[in-house]
A and B are shown apart, each in its own frame.
Chain A
Amino acid sequence: MKNEETWELRLYIAGQTPKSVLALGNITNYCNEYLSGKYSIEVIDLLKSPQLAEGDQIFAIPTLVRKFPQPLRKIIGDLSNKEKVLVGLNIRVLKSGKD
């Protein structure tokens, strides 16, 4: 897949809890590893802007939402299981397609 499109990810957190920090660290690592240069992560702190929770149907924290590419995917938890995150985001498939 030779696209130059940017992956749009959104991470919903609620304050700087250990889980949130861990999740952000994890997803940043994975993205750097597999999506280097073509991703953006928007971090939304629901403590500051609670009204945003309804839009993406957030109920658990932390939640990672893949806004693009479609379809929308959500991963809840601290993202510590790399395998699951990559499958969840479909990154592994893309990478193998590229090779």
Chain B
Amino acid sequence: MDHDEPGVLMSFEESRSDLAKNVLSLGFDLEQLVQENKLRIDHVKIERSEIEETGEYDLDGLFIRLNHAIDSIGAKRVVLDTIESLFGGVENLGLLRSEIRRLFSWLKEKGVTTIITGERGGKTLTRQGLEEYVSDCVILLDFRVIDQIATRRLRIVKYRGSTHGTNEYPFLIDENGISVIPITSLKLDYRSSTDIVSTGIADLDNLFSKKGIYKGSSVLISGTAGTSKTILASCFAIASCKRKEKVLFFSFEESVNQLIRNMATIGMDMEPYLDDGSLTIHASRPSLQGLEMHLLVLHKLLKDIKPNTVVIDPISSLISVGNSSEVRSMLVRLIDVLKMNEINAILTSLTSEAGNNLKDDTIEVVSSLADTWIDVKNTPHEGRRKRSLNIIKSRGMGHYNDPMEFEIKDQGIVFDQQYK
């Protein structure tokens, strides 16, 4: 309909009102389209019990209905959903097959684009083996559950006369309809900015030779529990807000209110930015949906909000929803997407307490992708725990190599000594 081509929907399963009701929740207003003469819905109901078959017949009735529907609004597109229910309605399958074949060649001659839906069969792609002879393009939809998390995927099985992606692509259905994102990583051809942005903490900026981080780079903040990763990330976010940029904050552990309250106690007031719309916090449980879904949600939000900075706190909690190879591929794509859009990415990652934190799963994955890696630590020192921060790497600039001790005070993060 976006292409302003009128269409005919011939439904064999759902009645017109059911259909209209069901897709309304996805943002399609069928009734309106019908009134504008852009859509015609024809519900073909076949009651096996009402019908007797004697002798020869053909499906001209269906042809004529369809023809009438197409001509009445000058349709360019036709949807047949699900034509296989015809097989349940009649006895003479051989005849039905040849008639359906005739139907498709007739539709092709009429020059309309046709979408046929069919149920997947045990061995063949469709239960009645229709696709073999009728279609130019086959798209396979699949709803799979892996580790209790379900993801819808689609795959283009064939497409005559065109190249196509051959992988399975996850897709998302929400109130705005369907969105699909490619699963494979993009080429490494994004532009790199030489602009510098502040981390939000002047002392931290000073640790980098360029007095900040590159715009559009990705920063990994790793640390064990309670090492103020979220605070650092929030500093970045607020700094970005202060630059009148848009910020998208994914919080996978704290709710929006909790985050605001906690940051307010150390003098970081996020509320005004929330109110003026520059800060968007998206809080959800990682296990709410599959990884692909998280990625899709992120994609959608990126498109809607067009943020300059994205914070994901913490990225390690996504591990809980998938196995590490999946997480890896997702993170790669995620960072790719952010880089393509020249978005500053702040990723926090929880590492295990058990010493060897550099070998952690997420760390391993993300550290190679991140441009800047800051490790925060709590070290016991004379009975107290001392907070320290260490820049492990920062691509394209020099940086301070020693651990920097800092404290969390009422007014935020304060460094103990100045870097000269």
A57 at the interface (CB under 8 A from B): yes
The contact sample of 30 A-B pairs, CB cut-off 8 A, is A14-B60, A14-B61, A19-B57, A19-B58, A23-B55, A50-B67, A53-B61, A53-B68, A58-B65, A59-B65, A60-B57, A60-B59, A62-B57, A63-B57, A63-B61, A71-B50, A73-B52, A74-B51, A75-B54, A76-B51, A76-B52, A76-B57, A76-B90, A77-B54, A78-B54, A78-B57, A80-B56, A81-B55, A84-B52, A85-B52
B42 at the interface (CB under 8 A from A): yes
Give B contacts to A, CB under 8 Å: 42, 44-47, 50-65, 67-68, 86, 89-90
Output the least CB separation between A73 and chain B (Å): 6
Output the least CB separation between A97 and chain B (Å): 20
A31 at the interface (CB under 8 A from B): no
Q: Which residues of the other chain, B, contact A81 by a CB distance below 8 angstroms?
A: 54-55
**B61 touches which of A61, A72, A73 (Cβ 8 Å):** A61
Output the least CB separation between A11 and chain B (Å): 12
Output the least CB separation between B85 and chain A (Å): 11
Cβ B54 vs Cβ A84 within 8 A: yes
**A78 touches which of B47, B55, B86 (Cβ 8 Å):** B55
A22 and B56 alpha carbons, distance in the complex (Å) = 10
A1 at the interface (CB under 8 A from B): no
Cβ B54 vs Cβ A80 within 8 A: yes
Cβ B62 vs Cβ A59 within 8 A: yes
Cβ B65 vs Cβ A78 within 8 A: no
**B65 touches which of A22, A50, A74, A75 (Cβ 8 Å):** A50
By Cβ-Cβ distance, the 7 closest A-B pairs, closest first, are A88-B52, A50-B68, A61-B60, A80-B55, A78-B55, A77-B55, A58-B61
Q: 1/0 per position for A25-52, CB-CB distance to B under 8 A?
A: 0000000000000000000001100110
A82 and B378 alpha carbons, distance in the complex (Å) = 93
Q: Which residues of the other chain, A, contact B53 by a CB distance below 8 angstroms?
A: 75-77, 84
Question: Number of A residues contacting the other chain (C-beta, 8 Å)?
Answer: 33
Given contacts A50-B64, A54-B42, A75-B53, 6 further A-B contacts (CB under 8 A): A19-B55, A50-B65, A63-B57, A74-B50, A84-B53, A84-B54
Cβ A60 vs Cβ B50 within 8 A: no
A79 at the interface (CB under 8 A from B): yes
Q: Which residues of the other chain, A, contact B65 by a CB distance below 8 angstroms?
A: 50, 53-54, 58-59
Cβ A14 vs Cβ B64 within 8 A: yes
Q: Which residues of the other chain, A, contact B59 by a CB distance below 8 angstroms?
A: 59-61
**A46 touches which of B52, B56, B61 (Cβ 8 Å):** B61
Q: Which residues of the other chain, B, contact A80 by a CB distance below 8 angstroms?
A: 54-56
Most chain A beta-carbon neighbours within 10 Å: one of B56, B59, B61, B67: B61
**B56 touches which of A12, A59, A78, A85 (Cβ 8 Å):** A78
Output the least CB separation between B89 and chain A (Å): 8
Cβ A77 vs Cβ B61 within 8 A: no
Tell me the nearest residue of chain A to B56, going by C-beta: A78
**B52 touches which of A12, A19, A62, A75 (Cβ 8 Å):** A75
Cβ B54 vs Cβ A12 within 8 A: no
Tell me the nearest residue of chain A to B57, going by C-beta: A77
Tell me the nearest residue of chain B to A85, going by C-beta: B54
Q: Which residues of the other chain, B, contact A71 by a CB distance below 8 angstroms?
A: 50
Most chain A beta-carbon neighbours within 10 Å: one of B46, B55, B59, B90: B55
Q: A57-B46, A60-B90 are in contact. Are A75 and B68 (CB under 8 A)?
A: no
Cβ B86 vs Cβ A19 within 8 A: no
Cβ A59 vs Cβ B46 within 8 A: yes
A77 and B51 alpha carbons, distance in the complex (Å) = 10
A12 and B63 alpha carbons, distance in the complex (Å) = 13
Q: Which residues of the other chain, A, contact B64 by a CB distance below 8 angstroms?
A: 14, 46-47, 50, 53, 61
Q: 1/0 per position for A81-97, CB-CB distance to B under 8 A?
A: 10011011000000000
Cβ B56 vs Cβ A77 within 8 A: yes
Most chain B beta-carbon neighbours within 10 Å: one of A22, A46, A78: A46
Most chain B beta-carbon neighbours within 10 Å: one of A47, A75, A84: A75
Output the least CB separation between A67 and chain B (Å): 12
Output the least CB separation between A50 and chain B (Å): 4
